[in-house]
Every structure is written in structure tokens, then in C-alpha cells.
Amino acid sequence: MSSTYTLRQRRQQCAPNKGKAGTSGATAPGKNGLCCFEELPDWQRDNDKILAGYVRETNSMKKCFESLTYFHNETVNIYTHLIPSGTYLVMLMFFTDLFLIPQFPTTTMSDYIMINFFLLGAFLCLMCSTCFHCLKQHSEAQSNIWSKVDYMGIIVLISCSTVSLLYYGFYDYLFHFKMFTIAVVVLGSCCAAFVLNDRFNAKNWRACRAGFFVTFGFSGIVPIVVGLVKFGIAESSKRVQLRFVLLEALFYISGAVIYGFRIPETLLPGKFDFVGHSHQIFHILVVLGSLCHFRALLGSYFFMHTGISSPGLLNLKAL
């Protein structure tokens, strides 16, 4: 089944199975194992602009994992976060020890922890997302559990990103770092309490969910403004690598808007069932945003240890 099929072809494929909506049970993987939106039970119905390519309710963890081996409308969602999460895990285990510390023997334990703190947050967020998209078709109960795990992963990433950058932005002003970190912990805890509420998981809260996480992410503007006032634009830009932080914000906000308004499938229902729908674009933009943040952390780390703001991505030799 290809994403180039026309809307009419998709509807024709669904036609023989209409009347089975609301049924559950596993089916064999492959072309016949996928179903259309009209055939889904109510709890699986989320985006009515994606018409085909759904994995039926499996009631089996094994069959959920088997869905990794064939193409459906969650495949891109799964692998756009599974591969980067694995990459972040490898970097968490080896990058700081083998790459940064030999270059900068002045690295302190706090420096070491903060770099790895972000890498851990990025790994957990992307892996939680991967698990949700792989296991959500198990059953309604499992879908609800893993959706909450997914939201918690987002909170972890925002918290780890903010705290790690606060450390490098205020490395010589411990009071400011502590105060802003406490604020992040409080906000993150409030977010966690909110997302664990079953009402938050309802379909009609979709736009609210996107706006909620954007608001939490935007809380990072406060320490940036404080830094601009305290250090000036030039030094603040070097301390937190402001250009990469702004680019990170652009990716995250764009992703949230696209996700919230379901662009482009709202404009052309059925045309982006397998490739190119809003959630896939959102996933890619999240990964790009996390990479921008990692680049900002590296730049801040280099600046802390050398006083130089390097324009190169990993221009260690020049330092």
C-alpha cells in the first residue's frame, strides 16, 4: 500500500470491511492486516484525516513489536524517534568520556553531569515516544498508559534541556542557577500532575496539549531575558549560544503548530496517510530542535572552558 494512492482508491479498499467499526482483535500483519479509519474502535480514532494504514487492535505485545517489520501509518513516527534515541544513548555512554574530557581536562564533574543530563533527557523522551507509537495499538488500556509515558518524556526533555543550559548560562552565578532550576522543577511537576490526569488525554484536548507544552518550553525565555539584562547581548549570546536556542525554539514551535492544526492532512485527507502527515513532521522537527540544543550546549561548554565562541559545529581542533 503506497502513499501515492488516491483518496478514491483508499475508500475502495475500505469499502468491503465497512460495518466492522468498533470490533477488535488481532489480524496477521501485511496488507490485509491494516485497516481504515472507519473500521477502528472509538478509542483508536484520533485523526479522521488519516484514512488508511492503521494497525488493528492486537491485544498482544508480540504483535505490536511485529508491526516494526512492516509498513503502516505509524512506521515513520516510530523510526524517526527510535533511531535518534539510540544515537543519543550511544552518545550518553561514550561521547563525553571519549570526546570532550580528553579535549578539555578542566572538565568538572558538574560539567560532565550536565552534558549527560541533556543526553539522558533526549534519549528518554524519544524512546518514550517510540514505545507509545509502537504499543498504542495493543488495547485501550495500554494506549492510555503509553500516551502518558509519551507526555512524561516530553516533560523530561524540556526540563533536562532547560536545566542544562541554565548551568552553562549562569555557571558563575550559582544563585541564579538554583532559583531558575527550582522554578523548572516546580513547573515540570505541575505539568506531570496535569498530563497524568485522564481528562488531558481526551481527543478534544489536542490543541490544548500542544499549547501546554509550548508554554512550558517558553518558560525558558525568562532566564534568557535575565541573562541579556545582566550580561548584555554579546556575552549572553556566547554563554547560551543564543542563535541555536532560537533555532531550537523555531523547530519546536513550528512542530507544535503543525501537530495542533494537523497540517497538511487537513488540507488533503488521505494523501498523507503513510508519509508526510503532521505527527511525522512534528517528530522530525523535535529531533532537529534537540540537535540544536545539543549544539548550543557544546558551544556553551567550549566557551566556559576557553572563552571562545566557535562558529564551527565541532571545531575542537581550532580551540
Known binding-site residue numbers for Zn(2+): 133, 279, 283
DSSP string, 94-128: HHIIIIIHHH-TT--HHHHHHHHHHHHHHHHHHHH
Where helices occur in 219-277 by DSSP H, the ranges are 221-240, 242-261
Reported as half-sphere exposure (CB side, CA atoms, 13 A), residue 159 has a value of 22
Q: Which three cell numbers stand for residue 178?
A: 538554583
**Binding-site residues:** 133, 279, 283
Could you give the CA distance from residue 228 to residue 226 in angstroms, rounded to a whole number? 5
Start-to-end CA distance of the chain, whole Å, equals 52
64, 58 contact by CB (below 8 A) = yes
Cβ-based neighbours of 57, under 8 Å, separated by 6 or more: 24, 25, 26, 41, 44, 137, 138, 139
Could you give the CA distance from residue 235 to residue 258 in angstroms, rounded to a whole number? 34
Of 104, 18, 31, 98, the residue nearest 71 (C-alpha): 31
